[in-house]
Amino acid sequence: MVMSASSFSGFPADARILGLDIGSISVDVVLLDGLGTPLYSRYVRHHGQPDKVLCAELEALERTHAGIAAAVTGTGADRVGRLLGACAVNEVIAQVAAASFRCPQARSVIDIGTLNIIIQRNDITSFLPDLYRTFGELSAEMHSPEPSVDKVLELDSRFHTQIANAAQNPMLATITEYITRLTMPSRLETTRKVLAKGEEEIERFVELHRQLLSVIERRQVDEIAATVQDHYIFWKK
C-alpha cells in the first residue's frame, strides 16, 4: 500500500519513504527509512512504457514493505502522483532539497543567494516589521523561565520562512519550505540542546538571528557569507 506523504519529516526511524522519478527514459526508485538512509534503489529503462515498469517496481516493493509514504518527481510526476495518492515534487526543488539534506553546507549557498536578492530590493522596509515582530517573539520565548521547544522551533521556522518569502521568488520559497521539512528532526534535536545548555547558548542563538536582521536592514552585502556561515557552524555544533 502507498500512503500519501504531505511532508518529508516527522517520520519514525522505522518508516519507509518511497521516492519515484518518472523520466522520459527511465523509472528511478529509492526507498529510505525515517532517518533518510537508503534501503533500496533501482534505475530501470522503461522503453516507452513507464506505467508498466512502475507497476512492476511497486508490486515488488509491496511484497517486502508495507505502509510506504511516497513522493514523485520527473516528467510524469503529476499524473503518477494523482494515481498513487502521492505528492508530486518539482524536479529542481527535489534536487536542491536532497542536496541540502545530504550536504547541509549546500543550503548556505541558497541562503546567501536569498539574502543578496532581498538586500537588492528597493522596498526592503516593507517586510522588516513582521520579521522584527517574529524575532521579538522568538527572543522572548528563548529567555522565558520555561521556554517551549516546540514554540521556539515554530518561531525559528517562521523567521526563516519570512526571509525566504521576502525574496519574492516562488521557487526559493518552495525550496526553503521543503528543506525546512527535511531538516525538522535535526533542528528539533539542536533546539533541545540549546535550551538545555542554558543562558549563554541561548543568547548566542538569539544573537545569530539579530545579526541576520542587521545584515538585511543595513544592506551589508559583504557580511552575508560570514553571517550565514556563523549560523551553520552553530547548528553543526
- Binning pLDDT at 50, 70 and 90, where does residue 4 land? very low
Residue 2 has pLDDT above 50, yes or no: no
Give residue 8's pLDDT band: very low, low, confident or very high (50, 70, 90). very low
Look at residue 7 in the predicted model and tell me its pLDDT: 39
**Cell digits of residue 189:** 534535536
Q: What is the pLDDT of residue 24?
A: 86
Query: Residue 144's pLDDT is what?
Result: 95
Nearest alpha-carbon partner for 23 in 88, 91, 101, 110: 91
The yes-or-no verdict on residue 79 having pLDDT over 60 is yes
Query: Between 231 and 97, whose confidence is greater?
Result: 231
Using the structure block, give the residue that is written with the C-alpha cell 528532526.
Answer: 185
Percentage of residues of the chain with pLDDT beyond 90: 37
pLDDT at 209 over 70: yes
Cell reading at 3: 500512503
**Confidence category of residue 17, pLDDT binned at 50, 70, 90:** confident
- Domain limits of the chain? 2-89, 95-236
Residue 3 has pLDDT above 80, yes or no: no
pLDDT, residue 11, reads: 66
Q: How much is the pLDDT for 10?
A: 57
This prediction has a pTM of 0.66
CATH architecture of 95-236: Up-down Bundle (1.20)
Residue pLDDT, tens place only, 100-141: 666 666 678 888 889 999 998 878 888 999 999 999 999 999
Q: Tell me what the mean pLDDT of segment 180-207 comes to.
A: 88
- Asked if the domains 2-89 and 95-236 are classified in one and the same CATH topology, the answer is no
List Cβ neighbours of 45 (8 Å cut-off, separation of 6 or more): 25, 26
pLDDT digits (tens, 9 = 90+) for 80-89: 788 777 888 8
Is the pLDDT at 234 greater than 90? The verdict is no
Q: What is the average pLDDT across 200-211?
A: 94
Beta carbons within 10 angstroms of residue 127's beta carbon: 18
Which of 66-70, 99-103, 184-188 reaches the highest mean pLDDT? 184-188
Contact 138, 170 (CB under 8 A): no
pLDDT of residue 150: 93
The reported pLDDT for the residue numbered 1 is 32
pLDDT at 65 over 70: yes
In CATH, the architecture of 2-89 is 2-Layer Sandwich (3.30)
DSSP the chain: -EEE-S-SSS--TT-EEEEEEE-SSEEEEEEEETTS-EEEEEEEE-TT-HHHHHHHHHHHHHTT--SEEEEEEETTHHHHHHHHT-EE--HHHHHHHHHHHH-THHHHHHHHHHHHHHHT-TTGGGTHHHHHHHHHHHHHHHTSSS--HHHHHHHHHHHHHHHHHHTT-HHHHHHHHHHHHHTHHHHHHHHHHHHHH-HHHHHHHHHHHHHHHHHHHTT-GGGHHHHHHHHHHHHH-
Determine contact, residues 79/25, Cβ cutoff 8 Å. no
Strand pairing of 16-22 and 68-74?
A: parallel
